[in-house]
Amino acid sequence: MSTQGELLEDAFFHNDRERIRAVKNLKSGQMFLAHYTDAQNLFRILEGKSVFLRNARTLGDYTEIDHGFRLIEKAVGSPSGERLSGAITSIWPNYSLRTIWDLFVHNHMLKIREETYVFSMCEHPVSGKARDFGRLSMWRCYGGASRPVALVINPFRSSFIQSDAVGMYTFPVEYVVPDGDGDDGLENWILREFCAIADVLVSNRSQLSSVDPAIAAGYMMRSFHLMGVRSKHKAFEEEKEWRVVWTPYLAGPLPPGAIEITNYFGYPQKILRLNLGPYSGDGTTSIDLSLNNILHKVLIGPASDADLVRHSVIAKLEEAGVRDAASRVEITNIPLRTSGSRP
């Protein structure tokens, strides 16, 4: 029989556990993650042996966090929300889904909006043309004079699946249509999650009845939190994004020196540094984020001087101590479209 803690985890984080469990069942080489950037930032990563998590408000779509929370607000008042609310009230009579949502908004929303930091990656195809070329939509974000590159990461050799020792966690993004619930709500993962939570609560009502109501409400608020930072407009679904996230009340303590104020991408901002090296912690599994361990390859995107960029990247990798650097750098040979090119 599951413990109360296990039941609460299974109930309130059903989607997270299922998605990450599916990834864990894959074998090494069956999934890669790619971080698209430009050569200048790649050199910054290699010289500092670290990547930066940026404030969610500086993302390409700075409304993304608000987008997720607007979806939850709508879902709370939906039939799926009413179903979950009934399940909660049947066990903890002083709480409803609306009560817990209002507590979350009042006590946590502002801090989450201001202090959530993200490092983004996309699922990288393991077969077909896209394996060699990358995602064209992402190259378009970094094309032209920026000398675009992509770091292709092997997540099975790193903490990009489990990050307890680092204090940062990795989640797949879920994509949602902002208006309407799709076919009976099937397109909206938040509604599906509400129903899944309700099912577990109803099935285990007797075992959960002795759980402190405030603890149960805390789990529901953590679920709201994750839904908000993991939801994105369905128009971006082809990106298949995963996010390394540090966010208040969910992630662990940051290591010394992780927070920096720097001029990054043209303007001053606070960033969080994730060092690329070995980690270990009390009660956690040791993990190795070193470049030699996690870097599968570097792709050179569309650029007029791709060969020169490749030679520079190889030199920088060698300076950073990366073994077999030349074999890890590939030119995609995607034609560069200039501003005067025909569509």
pTM of this structure: 0.85
For the chain, the helix, strand and coil percentages under 3-state DSSP, each to the nearest 5: 45, 20, 35
Residue 168's pLDDT is what?
A: 78
Residue 263's pLDDT is what?
A: 76
Per the CB < 8 A criterion, the answer to whether 257 and 50 are in contact is no
pLDDT tens, residue by residue, 175-223: 887 655 444 444 578 888 899 999 999 999 999 999 999 999 999 999 9
- The radius of gyration of the chain from alpha carbons, rounded to an integer in Å, stands at 22
CA-CA-CA-CA dihedral for 116, 73, 223, 188, to nearest 10: -100
* Listed residue (129, 120, 60, 77) closest to 332, CA to CA: 129
Portion of the chain with pLDDT greater than 90, in percent: 34
One pLDDT digit (tens) per residue for the chain, 343 residues: 568 777 888 788 876 666 666 666 666 567 889 999 999 999 999 999 999 898 887 765 556 678 888 889 989 999 999 999 999 999 999 999 999 999 999 999 988 888 888 899 998 877 766 677 878 778 877 655 678 999 998 876 554 545 556 777 788 888 887 655 444 444 578 888 899 999 999 999 999 999 999 999 999 999 999 888 888 888 888 888 888 888 887 766 776 667 888 776 677 788 888 888 887 765 556 778 899 988 999 999 988 888 999 999 999 999 999 999 999 999 998 877 665 444 4
Strand partners, 52: 273
Backbone angles phi, psi at 240, to 5 degrees: 50, 60
Residue 63's pLDDT is what?
A: 66
* Listed residue (201, 214, 14, 207) closest to 90, CA to CA: 201
